[in-house]
Amino acid sequence: MSSKTSYFSKSLEKGLKILALFNRETPALSQTEIAKIVGLNMTSTYRYINTLVEMGYLEKDESTKLVRPSIFCLAFCNNLMRATDHKRLIKALVDDIHSRYNMTIDVALSVDDDMMRIYHREAADTLTYSLPDFTRNCLHNTALGKAFLSSLPEDDLQGRLTHLQLTAKTKHTITDSETLKKQLLQAKLRGYAMTEEEFLPGLIAIAAPLINPHTSRGIGAVSFDFSVLQRNVEEVQVQYGPLIIDLAARISATIPSEGRLGSI
């Protein structure tokens, strides 16, 4: 056992995983829901929830028994955001591209088999759909997810594809693992992934992976989104392929030596 592993706190890990469940789309959860998602028994889940409530990070509605982040948690997160320069650096890079090209841009990190959006800029007079902050079961049907998958080593990729649920979001969603793997290998070669109406009708997206420069492992992706009424796939590839690769490389360069982007 390495020294890093021996000093790893599983209890702290579970507590932080519970806090990470809450987002704009899921502002409140029941104890049963939390237990199921995190994979804990009800007794352990109650203990973690009660600890977080006592510390002030969560609050419980006694009538509905739902728990949600508290005002204290908001202040805590705000302090964390102010304590890191990573969001400022990413914001500056994304805002520059947004101001020059007026397009929708998303930066997201991989969390298990989901994607967590950490920064978003919407194009003026947009015709595209805004993705939720936390997108589940999306690695196979979004450009962000495909770009991240394309960054994985062969063994890791095969393992992911084995247990991914290739649910069809639209009639264009790829639900065959071999077809998806071929697309991902192509994305690895050219440096970016594409989706055409696979997550939502009318949405075209191009994305490049974010790579930890210290470990050479993928951690997320950045994407440009367009409406099929504005662009076609060939135009997006020619006009924005080199740009998305360059932006992903510059965002990746902001990752600190410990390999995390911090609380952004």
pTM: 0.71
Residue-averaged pLDDT of the chain: 87
Q: Can 3-77 and 84-252 be said to share one CATH topology?
A: no
For residue 252, is pLDDT > 70? yes
pLDDT at 256: 66
pLDDT category of residue 257 using cuts at 50, 70 and 90:
low
Give bridge partners of residue 114 from the DSSP assignment.
Answer: 111
**Residue spans per domain, the chain:** 3-77, 84-252
pLDDT category of residue 259 using cuts at 50, 70 and 90:
very low
The identity of residue 50, as a single letter, is N
Q: What is the mean pLDDT of residues 204-213?
A: 94
CATH superfamily of 84-252: GAF domain (3.30.450.40)
Give tens-digit pLDDT for 195-204: 999 999 999 9
pLDDT category of residue 230 using cuts at 50, 70 and 90:
confident
pLDDT at 74: 74
pLDDT at 125: 72
Least confident of 87-91, 128-132, 183-187: 128-132
The domain made up of 3-77 is a member of CATH 3.40.190.10: no
Q: How many CB atoms lie within 10 A of CB 225?
A: 30
Task: Tell me the C-alpha distance between 204 and 242, whole Å.
Answer: 17
Q: What is the mean pLDDT of residues 82-91?
A: 74
Q: What is the mean pLDDT of residues 75-104?
A: 82
Q: Which two tokens stand for residue 161?
A: 């594809």
**Non-local CB neighbours of 41 within 8 Å, separated by 6+ positions:** 35
Give tens-digit pLDDT for 139-169: 999 999 999 999 999 888 888 888 888 989 8
